[in-house]
Amino acid sequence: MKTGKLLNYGENTLECYRGRFYSYGLFGLLDEWVRRGFHETPQDMQEYINKICDKTQ
């Protein structure tokens, strides 16, 4: 059993936090889409993701 790191996104601390940020953010976005009954198209969701990621750069 390894200790110290939960997931290995790289040796860089910022990479670890960035990986977690996007992982949980993407999960939340998809969870909301499911809860809303897939009202938006996959293309709509792709546009939303692109817009959200563009603002976090």
Q: Read off the pLDDT of residues 3-52 as tens digits, 9 standing for 90 and up.
A: 455 556 567 889 888 889 889 999 999 999 999 999 999 999 999 999 98
In contact, 45 and 33? CB cutoff 8 Å: yes
Q: Would you list the domain boundaries of the chain? A: 13-56
pLDDT confidence of residue 19: 87
d(CA 54, CA 56): 6
pLDDT category of residue 53 using cuts at 50, 70 and 90: confident
pLDDT of residue 7: 56
Q: Which residues fall within 8 angstroms of residue 16, CB to CB, at 6 or more apart?
A: 5, 7, 9, 10
**Residue 34 burial (10 A CB sphere; 0-12, 13-18, 19+):** exposed
Stated as kind and residue range, the H or E segment containing 29 is: helix 13-35
